Amino acid sequence: MSTRTLRIAMNGITGRMGYRQHLLRSILPIRDQGGITLADGTKVQVEPILVGRRENALAEIAAEHNIAEYTTDLDAIVTDERTDIVFDASMTSLRPATLTKAMKAGKHIFTEKPTAETLDEAIELARLRAETGVTAGVVHDKLYLPGLVKLRRLVDEGFFGRILSLRGEFGYWVFEGEHQAAQRPSWNYRSEDGGGMTTDMFCHWNYVLEGILGSVKSVTAKTITHIPTRWDEKGAEYAATADDAAYGIFEIAGPGGEDIVAQINSSWAVRVYRDELVEFQVDGTHGSAVAGLNKCVAQQRAHTPKPVWNPDLPVTESFRDQWMEVPANGDLDNGFKAQWEEFLRDVLAGREHRYDLLSAARGVQLAEAGLASSAEGKRVELEQISL
Ligand SMILES: NC(=O)c1ccc[n+]([C@@H]2O[C@H](COP(=O)([O-])OP(=O)(O)OC[C@H]3O[C@@H](n4cnc5c(N)ncnc54)[C@H](O)[C@@H]3O)[C@@H](O)[C@H]2O)c1
């Protein structure tokens, strides 16, 4: 039996992330499974309230998914005394205002990344959380992906020996929108609307690097707009003012203080010749592993072949076949849902969530530093953020 219901005001629910990952893949499955069960056996149910600008779109989603409430009045629902949690997946540029209002009203918050476009704003949000004492969670979805869970397990088990480096490859071709519709929203390609690869992805890379290897000490990046003209949702041509690719080198302080070098290519102007849309290879003295969204393969030192460079001969070995798959050894649920459940338990226990606004601020810091590095053509060291 449910003894309590958490009312969650969900803003930006008509968008790609808000609708698919947070409503369809997280909150509705949690609701439909009867909520979450606490250690003492009590169940706590969740009730979404859809928030957005277009009443018709909200009404349609509400009817389709048996959701009782929706509203276009963001201010009123954020401050409504019956609202427990405010969730935001709207445009990045609108986020700080919504989160600030919610925390000042004493609401717990769960939000998409990045939390802000500038480091100052991101730190201000983290400060406000500390002052208000609410529980705040920021989406760190990549760390919940099966591939990265397996990779982290290899690190914990000491599989790699001394970790030397990480190489990441992220991206795919995003259509310009002229002949074939673009598969991402047009604001992603306008810097004046908070778009850009660096802003979008470096906040992910920060927590991925922290969560797998250690904290990021510096960044050297080249960001670029490969495709300067695109066509929007209405078919109108626009200038793509934001970077659509970022090539970064990150220096990491490993668990034992050792230097680890990470390189990550992020591009929306690249065609995929990989097994997954993102892949990370970690090399260590005793072993290496390659992790994607789902799969992770590894190769031990003892099983490492000894290729000899000879451009005159065809390849004699099938290198991909020399890796062994790392098993899941358990059910790994959708990452967004898994983090939501963890966050809801933290709210109910009145404690902080491990992936909070401070971690998010470090992500914004890395994005800002990456853009500065590229603009100034130099390596940028990251100062430790304190509140
Ligand atoms: N965690 C991830 O992997 C991931 C992936 C993609 C995007 N995101 C983040 O999620 C957020 C949403 O991205 P998306 O791709 O879903 O974008 P989207 O454009 O599909 O959705 C944006 C939402 O904001 C609303 N919106 C747009 N303009 C608005 C305005 N002027 N006023 C009020 N509301 C407005 C839209 O109606 C929609 O509901 C972004 O902050 C983005 O950085 C995260």
Q: Which pLDDT does position 257 carry in this prediction? A: 86
Whether residue 379 lies inside any domain: the answer is no
Q: Residue 15, Cβ neighbours under 10 Å: how many?
A: 17
How does pLDDT run across 245-269, given as a tens digit for each residue? Answer: 999 999 999 978 899 999 999 999 9
Same domain for 235 and 318, yes or no, is yes
Q: Answer whether residue 154 is part of any domain.
A: yes
Rounded mean pLDDT of 273-283?
97
If you measure from the C-alpha of residue 296 to the centroid of ligand 1, how many angstroms do you get, rounded to a whole number?
30
Q: Are 252 and 227 in contact (CB under 8 A)?
A: no
Task: Give the span between the Cα atoms of 279 and 265, in whole angstroms.
Answer: 10
Rounded to the nearest angstrom, the distance between the alpha carbon of 61 and the centre of ligand 1 is 17
Model pLDDT for residues 119-154, shown as the tens digit of each residue: 999 999 999 999 999 999 999 999 999 999 999 999
Same-domain status, 23 and 105 = yes
Pocket of ligand 1, beta carbon within 6 A: 12, 14-18, 52-53, 89-92, 94, 112-113, 139, 141, 185, 187, 200
Regarding whether 257 and 190 lie in a shared domain, the answer is yes
Residue ranges making up the domain that contains 164: 143-333+366-374
Instruction: Calculate the average pLDDT of the chain.
Output: 96
Distance CA 236, CA 230 (A): 8
Q: Are residues 173 and 294 in the same domain?
A: yes
SS3 content of the chain, % helix, strand, coil (to 5): 35, 25, 40
In the chain, how many domains are there? 2
CA–CA gap between residue 2 and residue 85 (Å, rounded): 18
Rounded to the nearest whole angstrom, what is the distance from the C-alpha of residue 200 to the centroid of ligand 1? Answer: 11
User: What distance, in Å, lies between the first and last C-alpha atoms of the chain?
Assistant: 41
pTM over 0.85: yes
pLDDT in tens, 176-235: 999 999 999 999 999 999 899 999 999 999 999 999 999 999 999 999 999 999 999 999
How does pLDDT run across 47-69, given as a tens digit for each residue?
A: 999 999 999 999 999 999 999 99
**1 pLDDT tier (thresholds 50, 70, 90):** low
Distance 87 CA to ligand 1 centre (A): 12
Atom of ligand 1 nearest to the CA of 199: 43
Q: Is the residue at 385 inside a domain? A: no
Summarize pLDDT for 291-343 with one digit per residue, the tens.
Answer: 999 999 999 999 999 999 999 999 889 999 999 999 999 888 889 999 999 99
347 and 205 together in one domain: no
Do 114 and 240 lie in a common domain? no
